C-alpha cells in the first residue's frame, strides 16, 4: 500500500512538471507575439495635424500636394482621399500607407475630402478631421502640370527604345514628348501623341546625360514641360577576372574567400555595377548551389560540407548591360 502511494505521488509530480512546461512554453509564445506591442510607443490617443490642403481650399492646379505633421512613434501614415466626402463616398481615390510626411497626387476636377492617421506595429492614432477641398474645373492648362511616371529621375538606360509614360491630364487632348541632350539642349527627338506613353524607336544615340520632357496641350493652352534626367549607358561591364582562390585549389577549411577584379569601366557613362557570384557542384552550372549579388569584388562563403565545387562571376550594371561570365575555377574541400 505504501509503494502504491509513492508511485501515485511520483505520477502527480511528473504531471505537475509537464503542466509547468506547457504553461512556460505558452507564456513564451504569448510573449513573443506581444513583443511588438510591448516595445512600441502607444500612439492611440494622438491625432495627426494636417497642413495642406486646408479646409475648403479651391486648388487651381491638378497636382495636389498633401502634407501633415510628424508624430513621434509613428512608422507609417495611412492617407485616405475620397470623392466627394466620407459620408457619401462615390469613389475611393487612395487608401495607402506612406512613410513620408507628404505626397503629390494628380487629381481630376472635383470635390474631395481627405484624412490621415499614424500607425506602428502595435498601435494607431485617431484619424485627423476630414478636410474638404476642390480641384477647380479650369481648362486653361497654363498653370497646370503633367505628372511623369516612368522612367524615374536619374534612371540609367541602355537604349532610348524604352516606354516613357506619364499620367493623363483631365483637360489635355494631346501630349508633346521630347528627348533632349542635357548638355547642349538639342532636341534629339520629339513626338505628339494622344496617349499617356511613347516608345521611341532605337537610333544612334551617344552615351551621356539626357532629359525627357512632356507637356499637355488642348485647343487654346498648354502646360509647361515636366522633365526628368536619364543616362544612356550602352557599354557592358568588363568580364570579371578571378584572382583567388586559384583553379584546383585544395583546402580543409569550409570557409573560402572569393576575390576577383572588374578593372576600369569603359564608356562615357558609368552606371553602377553589381556582381553576381555563383557556386555549383557542376562545371556546367546547371544546378546552382549558391548565388549572391554584390557591390564589391570579394565575398566569404562557408560551405556546409566537403567536396568539389566550381565558381564564376559576372557583372551587370543598372542600365541592364551584362558582361559574359568569367572563367570557371574549381576548388576542392577535403
Claim to verify: residue 250 and residue 326 sit in the same structural domain: yes
* Mean pLDDT, residues 226-249: 97
Residue 142 DSSP label: G
Q: Is a pLDDT exceeding 50 seen at residue 22?
A: no
Q: Is residue 36 part of a domain?
A: no
Kindly state the helix (H) or strand (E) to which residue 149 belongs, with its residue range: strand 148-150
In angstroms, the CA 77 to CA 289 distance is 41
- Residue where one domain finishes, among candidates 88, 104, 135: 135
Quick check: bond before 84 cis, omega within 30? yes
Q: pLDDT tens-digit profile of 167-180?
A: 999 889 999 999 99
What band does 265 get if pLDDT is binned at 50, 70 and 90? confident
Residue 7 lies in a domain: no
pTM: predicted TM-score of the whole model, two decimal places: 0.69
Domain ranges, residue 222: 141-232
Domain assignment of residue 220, yes or no: yes
Cα distance between residue 131 and residue 114, in whole Å: 5
pLDDT at residue 17 tops 70: no
Model pLDDT for residues 64-91, shown as the tens digit of each residue: 999 999 999 999 999 999 999 999 999 9
List, for residues 172-224, the tens digit of each pLDDT value. 999 999 999 999 999 999 999 999 999 998 777 899 999 999 999 999 899 99
Residue 268 and residue 324 in one domain = yes
Q: Residue 9 above 50 pLDDT?
A: no
- What CATH number should be reported for the domain holding residue 221? 2.60.40.10
Residue-averaged pLDDT of the chain = 89
Is residue 4 pLDDT above 50, yes or no? no
Q: What is the count of structural domains for the chain? A: 3
Q: DSSP labels for 74-85? A: --EEEEEEEEEE
Amino acid at each position: 500500500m505504501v509503494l502504491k502511494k509513492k508511485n501515485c505521488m511520483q505520477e502527480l509530480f511528473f504531471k505537475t512538471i509537464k503542466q509547468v512546461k506547457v504553461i512556460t512554453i505558452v507564456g513564451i509564445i504569448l510573449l513573443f507575439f506581444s513583443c511588438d506591442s510591448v516595445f512600441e510607443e502607444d500612439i492611440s490617443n494622438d491625432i495627426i495635424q494636417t497642413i495642406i490642403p486646408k479646409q475648403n481650399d479651391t486648388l487651381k492646379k491638378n497636382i495636389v500636394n498633401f502634407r501633415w505633421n510628424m508624430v513621434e512613434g509613428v512608422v507609417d501614415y495611412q492617407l485616405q482621399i475620397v470623392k466627394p466626402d466620407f459620408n457619401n463616398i462615390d469613389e475611393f481615390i487612395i487608401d495607402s500607407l506612406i512613410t513620408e510626411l507628404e505626397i503629390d497626387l494628380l487629381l481630376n476636377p472635383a470635390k474631395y475630402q481627405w484624412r490621415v492617421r499614424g500607425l506602428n506595429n502595435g498601435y494607431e492614432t485617431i484619424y485627423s478631421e476630414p478636410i474638404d477641398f476642390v480641384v477647380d474645373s479650369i481648362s486653361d492648362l497654363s498653370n497646370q502640370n503633367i505628372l511623369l511616371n516612368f522612367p524615374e529621375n536619374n534612371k540609367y538606360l541602355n537604349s532610348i527604345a524604352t516606354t516613357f509614360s506619364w499620367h493623363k491630364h483631365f483637360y489635355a487632348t494631346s501630349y508633346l514628348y521630347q528627348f533632349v541632350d542635357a548638355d547642349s539642349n538639342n532636341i534629339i527627338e520629339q513626338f505628339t501623341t494622344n496617349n499617356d506613353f511613347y516608345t521611341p524607336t532605337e537610333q544612334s544615340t551617344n552615351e551621356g546625360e539626357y532629359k525627357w520632357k512632356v507637356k499637355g496641350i488642348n485647343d487654346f493652352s498648354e502646360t509647361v514641360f515636366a522633365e526628368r534626367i536619364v543616362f544612356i549607358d550602352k557599354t557592358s561591364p568588363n568580364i570579371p577576372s578571378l584572382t583567388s582562390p586559384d583553379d584546383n585549389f585544395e583546402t580543409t577549411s569550409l570557409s573560402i574567400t572569393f576575390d576577383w577584379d572588374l578593372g576600369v569601366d569603359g564608356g562615357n557613362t558609368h552606371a553602377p555595377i553589381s556582381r553576381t557570384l555563383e557556386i555549383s557542384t557542376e562545371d556546367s552550372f546547371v544546378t546552382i548551389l549558391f548565388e549572391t549579388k554584390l557591390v564589391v569584388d570579394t565575398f566569404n562563403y562557408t560551405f556546409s560540407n566537403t567536396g568539389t565545387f566550381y565558381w564564376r562571376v559576372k557583372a551587370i550594371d543598372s542600365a541592364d548591360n551584362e558582361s559574359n561570365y568569367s572563367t570557371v575555377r574549381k576548388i576542392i574541400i577535403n
